[in-house]
């Protein structure tokens, strides 16, 4: 009996030891299997990263993750709100198109480079004299519309043939109304006629702006849709080329309040507008313009302002020292100025 008891005890101890060893081996095998699964299935790690709550992490880690997600969501919402505000500002026209002098200045290339601008001024050519604008050609291409000034030697009384290099020129994009202004120096006389642009989709028409310099002229080409532009020159023969192409969504701009004179009819002496031009400039106006208004009339704009209050203050300042009446006109980017009745002399 004692021998049987000893034998039985030994057997039980052996069984217990075997069971313990078996559990350790199973645990080790299970761990190795888990590691193998993690290595062979890297997608699980991505899923754990994307879905924190499904990985069996403890509650503190879940709370931290949720807190981080909440902060990220708040930041994203703030960003969305900022973008929404910016979009609302753009949609409501919070900004005013900067005057032409505030745009960057660029040198014209001697060939087309497909380098389009949305604002600013482009200059080129050589400082010279005794040239003329021969023909002004225009055409519609697949991606852009083109306006071409052919530059000739000689005056309009006696053209001598195409020039080799264009005269000095500046081309600027303006707004209120939307147009391109060409200041051409070294030119003797006005073009005999301007092209009919009625068949164009982007350009609309051209005008000659009164410019009091016997060796320079100003022309303007009006645009009827949002565009970006490229200006370049060509040599031998000399040409000044403007290409415009449609911009799907140009930043919207607020209307402005123009401080201006009354309109001058075509029967009046256009030299009268020299007086307000000079007087505005003497009183610190940096953006004086001569503009066409409805019914082919002209007026002089002292400048435009973002608010009615600013325009009224400026108008009051000027009226204390001028002998002609001023008006305030609200205009949008593409609006044609109004024909405002009045007198240049009070």
The answer to whether residues 191 and 117 touch, using CB atoms and an 8 Å cutoff, is no
Per-residue pLDDT of the chain (346 residues; tens, 9 = 90+): 333 333 333 333 343 333 433 444 443 434 433 433 333 333 333 333 333 333 333 444 444 444 444 544 444 444 444 444 444 444 444 688 877 666 689 999 999 999 999 899 999 999 999 999 989 999 999 999 999 999 999 887 788 899 999 999 999 999 999 999 999 999 987 888 899 999 999 999 999 998 888 889 999 999 999 999 999 999 999 999 999 999 876 667 899 999 999 998 866 666 788 889 999 999 999 999 999 998 889 999 999 999 999 999 999 999 988 888 999 999 999 999 999 998 776 5
For residues 120 and 104, the answer to whether their CB atoms sit within 8 Å is yes
Within 10 A of 322 (CB to CB), how many other CB atoms are there?
18
pLDDT in the model for residue 98: 79
Are 285 and 278 in contact by the 8 Å Cβ rule? The answer is no
Stated pTM of the model: 0.71
Burial of 297 (0-12, 13-18, 19+ CB in 10 A): buried
The pLDDT of residue 227 is 95
And the tokens for 20? 């313990």
What is the reported pLDDT for 195? 95
pLDDT of residue 94: 65
Q: Where in the chain is the domain with CATH 2.60.40.3500?
A: 100-246
The class level of CATH for 256-331 reads: alpha beta
Count of C-beta atoms within a 10 Å radius of residue 261: 26
Specify the domain boundaries for CATH 3.30.70 within the chain: 256-331
Among 115, 53, 58, which residue's Cα sits nearest to residue 243? 115
94 phi, psi to nearest 5 deg: -75, -25
In the chain, what is the greatest distance between 2 CA atoms, to the nearest angstrom?
145
Alpha carbon of residue 297 to chain centroid: 31
Helix count and strand count (H, E) for the chain: 5, 15
> 290 and 210 in contact (C-beta within 8 Å)?
yes
**Residue 256 contacts by C-beta under 8 Å, 6 or more apart in sequence?**
96, 97, 176, 304, 305, 306, 330, 331
Q: What is the pLDDT of residue 111?
A: 94
Does the domain spanning 100-246 belong to CATH 2.60.40.3500?
A: yes
């Amino acid at each position: 009996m004692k021998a049987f008891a000893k034998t039985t005890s030994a057997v039980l101890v052996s069984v217990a030891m075997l069971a313990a060893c078996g559990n350790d081996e199973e645990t080790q095998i299970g761990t190795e299997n888990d590691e193998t699964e993690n290595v062979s299935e890297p997608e699980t790690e991505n899923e754990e990263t994307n879905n924190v709550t499904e990985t069996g992490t403890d509650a503190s880690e879940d709370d931290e993750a949720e807190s981080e997600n909440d902060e990220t969501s708040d930041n994203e919402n703030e960003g969305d709100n900022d973008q929404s505000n910016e979009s609302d500002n753009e949609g409501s026209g919070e900004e005013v198109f900067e005057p032409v002098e505030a745009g960057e200045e660029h040198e014209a290339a001697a060939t087309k480079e497909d380098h389009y601008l949305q604002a600013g001024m482009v200059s080129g050519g050589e400082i010279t004299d005794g040239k003329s604008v021969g023909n002004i050609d225009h055409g519609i291409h697949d991606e852009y519309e083109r306006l071409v000034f052919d530059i000739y030697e000689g005056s309009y009384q006696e053209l001598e043939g195409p020039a080799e290099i264009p005269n000095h020129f500046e081309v600027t994009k303006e707004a209120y109304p939307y147009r391109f202004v060409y200041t051409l120096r070294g030119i003797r006389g006005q073009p005999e006629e301007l092209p009919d642009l009625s068949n164009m989709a982007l350009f609309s028409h051209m005008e000659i702006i009164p410019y009091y310099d016997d060796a320079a002229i100003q022309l303007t080409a009006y645009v009827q849709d949002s565009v970006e532009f490229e200006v370049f020159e060509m040599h031998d023969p000399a040409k000044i080329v403007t290409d415009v192409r449609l911009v799907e969504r140009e930043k919207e701009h607020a209307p402005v309040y123009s401080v201006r004179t009354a309109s001058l009819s075509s029967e009046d002496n256009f030299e009268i507008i020299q007086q307000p031009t000079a007087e505005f400039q003497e009183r610190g106006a940096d953006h004086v313009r001569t503009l066409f208004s409805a019914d082919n009339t002209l007026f002089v704009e002292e400048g435009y302002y973002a608010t009615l209050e600013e325009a009224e203050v400026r108008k009051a300042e000027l009226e204390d020292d001028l002998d002609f009446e001023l008006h305030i006109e609200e205009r949008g980017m593409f609006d044609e100025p109004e024909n405002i009745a009045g007198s240049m002399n009070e």
